[in-house]
Structures are given as structure tokens and as C-alpha cells.
Structure 1
């Protein structure tokens, strides 16, 4: 099973929804007590909220790209950003050198991705 990297905390409520949803989908498909292999990086939303309202998207994308790179170092095979607030910077995050196949995947697609064979040992 592949590892889903979830950037959350944007708000924690949306993180919970995404995490719960893609794990429920994995359990529905595999049965029993299965869940997705996943890593979560929770970003303090108060910091980025000010940047968003000040239209400082470069700071936001740098922070999210750093979070994605950290998740990648710990073994994440793809990146899922919880919430819709950051859709305007996802392309910049993807350009940050990460090898994630998509930063625009939804939780349903994340479950599909998680169920695929692992790409690493």
C-alpha cells in the first residue's frame, strides 16, 4: 500500500474530514480494520491566514512546499492538501521539487492511490 501525505491544520476540522474519508474508503474496499498508510503534517492556520488575506501567496506556497518535502522525506508517495483555501497555491507547491503525482487529488482519489502497490521498500 502506498503512503498518503496529508498537509492539514488548514483548519483542523477539514483535516479530520479528509483523513476520515480516505480511511473509510480504504476500509470499505479492504474490509476488517484496514486503514490507509498515511502521514499528517499539521500547519498552524493562524500563521497562513494572515498571509492569505494579505495576498502573500509566496509565503504560503513556501510553507506548504516545505511541509510536502518533509512528508516526502518520511516516505509519503503523494500529497493531499486538506481544504479548499489553498487551491490557488497548489501549482506552486508542486513546482517545489516534490515528486508527488498530484497536489489536486481529492480524498476519494487518495484512497485509490493508497490502495496501489507501494513504490518503495
Structure 2
């Protein structure tokens, strides 16, 4: 019923007793976190995550060359510099290109998109991360 009345949507002002603020507080408590932020979209969620992780102006961020535009958009919105990583024929990230681009650019962040439900090679990604320290 709350969603149909639009009570969980922000309307331009900060009110700690507004339904969305109460929902954030209760969810944070339930999950055992100090804070929780409700967002309106996938792109906004990625932006918040990048900002919270420390991405700032000119921070290099690796991302799939074949991915949804929201990843690239969020990186740019956070001030990051997009470094595209090639994809393999199966549409997953190319771990060899990832390692090479990370080493060549000094990028320390990866925003990994799983395309069409296809997950990247987790052992390969872990090996890549371990080799880069």
C-alpha cells in the first residue's frame, strides 16, 4: 500500500520521519548496518557504491567493454575514468585483458557486469586480483 501511495519516494526535502527515511533506518537496523540509502535506480545504486568505495575525480575504474551503459554512466558520474576491458566470445570479461589493463593503467577498481546472467570466471578473477596485490 505504501508504494501505491508513493510514500516511499523522496519529494525534495529531508525529513527524518518520512516513510522512506524510516524504511532506511529499519532496514539498516535489520541488516546490522549503521546506514542504509534507498535509491531510485540501478545507475544510482552503482554511483553510491562507487562513491562509497572511494572513486573520485580521475580515479581509473575497469569495466566490461560489453556491458550495460549504466556502469559506464555511474563511473563517469562519480568522476572516475572508464577503462574498458575486452569481453570473450561468451560475453564474459576477458581476464587476461583485465590483468593487462589493470597493470598498464594502475586502476584499482573493477565494476564487473554479468551480461545476460552469464557470470565471469570467478577463479580467474581471483587469480588476477591476487597477482596484482
Q: Which has the larger radius of gyration?
A: 2
Name which structure has the greater RCO, CA cutoff 8 Å, separation 6+. 1
